Amino acid sequence: MALTKEHINEALSGVMHPSGEDLVSKGCVMNVAVCDEHASVRICMTQGDPSAAQPSREQLAKIGAVIDASVRSTARDQGVDDLGLIVDFVDHQGEVVMKLKGDQKGVMKDKSQSDKHDPNTPTPQNSGATGVPGVKHIIAVGAGKGGVGKSTVAVNLAIGLARKGHSVGLLDGDIYGPSLPTMLGLHSMEQVVIEGALQPFMAHGIKSITMGKLVETDKPLIWRGPMAHGAFHQLIERTQWGELDYLIIDLPPGTGDVPLTLAQSVQLSGAVVVCTPQKVAQDDAVRASAMFESLGVEVLGVVENMSYFIGDDGKEYDIFGRGGAQTMAQRLNHSFLGAIPINMALRANCDGGKPSHNFDPKTAGGESLPKALEGMVDQFESQVMLSSMSKGSNKPTLTIS
């Protein structure tokens, strides 16, 4: 069995509008989208009567709770026990007036930034940013602190997406500490420039560009903010990416100049926050999440890296306290994209420039690491699709074979 749009519409037909009609009969259901264990519903309570008063936030919250209960009950009947649901209430012009997001425990939370008119709340700055020609989705991978494996997650996410048939680019945005030359094995390759355009490297099925191939390897970059800004812009704007499904940007840690420049100047589809299980990493990851949200960038989910250690004997050790980042994600009402273990093979493959080996049990120290990475990629794809459907940007495609 599988949950379909028809099932959800049937559930919505049992939810009543204050006028006395059900939402479906009154024409309030503007859009329904379903992807695996995730669903999105768009409701216009003033449909057919733009002059009608919009229900109060309290009323919308109550209606949203009824929608959630009805849809979730229908989902369970179809074998979906842990449904992730987004309910967008919009006005007659399609502007979102309230966004409710239900976690897999059925708890609905208001994610519509109801305090956006508070002068103390930062104004989202990503709305005026531009995209990169030919790139469908630009995704930032960030973290609140260094050393949590942000680059490891970015590289393996990019390769995992490429293995599923997507065209993927990876930008090393960590200007001061670029990791891609080592992790992708780019040391023997030379940077090529054609007619002023940087040509990305092609390795492990992905395109990549990094400041590490534009400066001397053993010399530090002692740059102030404006110089880092300029270098970052050149990496994005002067690279000939071509057509990409995803451009993954590996950010430097923290909430400093480069992450802010990225969020303000590039139209991001969303961000992934990387965190290790321990409390000190969670505290900084919360700040990174808050930065993205204050700039109008949707946090697609949280990855718990170094969740546990797998010894050579196959035994698992919770060195940092497995599950801490997952608990943080639930507290912030962010999706949890997966827990990535660490073992000797992961370290050796990344240090040796052979990250593709992380997806093969024979070279990844067993089944656990490949399974975790593939699960992360699957969850990420679902969140991107759900976000696109929620924003009304999911367009049909025609494939001819």
Domain-wise residue ranges, the chain: 5-110, 135-380
Q: What is the pTM of this model?
A: 0.70
pLDDT of residue 398: 42
Nearest to 263 by CA among 306, 294, 231, 217: 294
pLDDT(286) > 80: yes
Of 157-161, 189-193, 230-234, the least confident: 230-234
pLDDT digit string, tens, across residues 245-263? 999 999 887 666 666 667 6
| Percent of the chain's residues with pLDDT above 70 | 81
- Burial of 224 per CB tally in 10 Å (0-12, 13-18, 19+): exposed
| Percent of the chain's residues with pLDDT above 90 | 35
pLDDT(168) > 90: yes
pLDDT of residue 129: 59
For residue 210, the Cα-to-chain-centroid distance in whole angstroms is 22
pLDDT confidence tier of residue 369, bands split at 50, 70 and 90: very high
pLDDT confidence tier of residue 56, bands split at 50, 70 and 90: confident
pLDDT confidence tier of residue 50, bands split at 50, 70 and 90: confident
- Burial of 92 per CB tally in 10 Å (0-12, 13-18, 19+): middle
- Rounded to whole angstroms, how far apart are CA atoms 294 and 374? 30
pLDDT of residue 115: 39
pLDDT of residue 339: 94
pLDDT: which is higher, 104 or 356: 356
pLDDT confidence tier of residue 180, bands split at 50, 70 and 90: very high
- Rounded to whole angstroms, how far apart are CA atoms 239 and 244? 12
pLDDT of residue 276: 92
- Rounded to whole angstroms, how far apart are CA atoms 32 and 40? 6
pLDDT: which is higher, 291 or 149: 149
pLDDT of residue 85: 84
Instruction: Tell me the DSSP string of 84-146.
Output: EEEEEEE-TTS-EEEEEEE-TTS-EEE-S-TTTT-TTSPPP-STT-B--TTEEEEEEEE-SST
The first and second tokens of residue 193, run together, are 């420039």
Q: Which residues, including other chains, have CB under 8 Å from residue 256's CB and lie 6 or more apart?
A: none
Helix or strand holding residue 384 (H, E): helix 368-390
Q: Which CATH superfamily is domain 135-380 in?
A: P-loop containing nucleotide triphosphate hydrolases (3.40.50.300)
pLDDT of residue 108: 55
pLDDT digit string, tens, across residues 100-119? 886 544 455 665 543 344 44
Taking residues 72-101, what's their average pLDDT?
A: 84
Of 35-49, 130-144, 238-252, 325-339, the least confident: 35-49
Q: How many C-beta neighbours within 10 Å does residue 365 have? A: 24
Helix or strand holding residue 61 (H, E): helix 57-77
Secondary structure (3-state) at 281: helix
pLDDT of residue 359: 97
Q: Report the range out of 17-26, 202-211, 278-287 with the highest average pLDDT.
A: 202-211
pLDDT of residue 57: 85
pLDDT(381) > 90: yes
Of 116-120, 155-159, 330-334, the least confident: 116-120
Of 250-254, 339-343, 355-359, the least confident: 250-254
Q: Which residues is 246 bridged to in the sheet? A: 137, 168
**Dihedral (Cα; 214, 216, 221, 222), 10-degree rounding:** -130
Taking residues 129-143, what's their average pLDDT?
A: 86
Of 65-69, 227-231, 350-354, the least confident: 227-231
Strands (E), 4-94: 29-35, 38-44, 84-90
310 touches 365 (CB < 8 A): yes
DSSP H stretches of helix in 238-317: 257-265, 279-294
pLDDT: which is higher, 47 or 215: 47
The CATH topology of domain 5-110 is GMP Synthetase; Chain A, domain 3 (3.30.300)
Q: Report the range out of 211-215, 240-244, 296-300, 381-385 with the highest average pLDDT.
A: 240-244
Q: Which residues, including other chains, have CB under 8 Å from residue 271's CB and lie 6 or more apart?
A: 139, 140, 141, 142, 292, 297, 298, 299, 300
pLDDT of residue 117: 40
Between helices 257-265 and 225-237, what is the axis angle to 10°? 40
pLDDT of residue 394: 47
Strands (E), 235-387: 244-250, 270-275, 299-310, 316-317, 336-342
Taking residues 106-133, what's their average pLDDT?
A: 52
Secondary structure (3-state) at 289: helix
